[in-house]
Structure 1
Amino acid sequence: MKVAVWDTYVTKKDGSMMHFDIIAPEEIKDAETIYSYGRTYLTTKNQDGQLLTSKECGFCHIETVKPQWKESIEKQGYFIYEMENCN
């Protein structure tokens, strides 16, 4: 399975920057669908309402799905790869 990686930087409520990737099947081309995945994730981090648009989130590249992402993608349609300040 090939997946699209969307590089995402969101300003948190405390003003710090959180960095994560939204990883979804490559067939999903609609940016609004990707942003909705990101907004759902932000809600789980008590960051609901933070801006997530094309300015904060952009397509990066296509790659082969990693085993640790596959279950989440099959279950909910996407995987969030946390990189910086996601706690």
Structure 2
Amino acid sequence: MKVAVWDTYVTRKDGKVMHFDILVDENTDDAGQVFEYGKQYLKTVLQEGQPLTSKECRFCHIDKAPADIENQILKNGFSIIEMENCY
């Protein structure tokens, strides 16, 4: 499966900037849906309510997904790769 990678930078409640990628099926072209996936993730790391719009999240590139990422996308619609300050 090829996935669209959305590069995301969200300011946490403590002021640090978290960096993570939102991965979705390459045919997903609804940015609003991608933002909603990001907001779901933010809830899981106790950052609910932080802004997540086109200012914080942008399409980056298309890539081939490994099996575990593909399975997460098939199950949940998205996958997250945590890069910096996610905890």
TM-score of the aligned structures, taking structure 1 as reference length? 0.97
Secondary structure at the aligned position of 1:73 is classed as helix
> Is 1:73 paired with 2:51?
no
- Give the TM-score normalised by the residue count of structure 2: 0.97
Aligned partner of 2:62 in structure 1 is 62
Structure 2: segments with no counterpart, 5+ residues: none
Deviation of 1:67 after TM superposition, in Å, equals: 2.0
How many residue pairs end up in the alignment?
87
1:45-71 deviations in Å (ceiling 9; x for gaps): 100000000000000000111123112
Structure 1 CA distance for aligned equivalents of residues 34 and 73 of structure 2 = 13
Structure 1 residue ranges without an equivalent (≥5) = none
Code of the residue aligned with 2:56 in structure 1: it is E
Taking only aligned residues, the RMSD between alpha carbons, in angstroms, comes to 0.6
Q: Distance in 1 between matches of 2:47 and 2:57?
A: 15
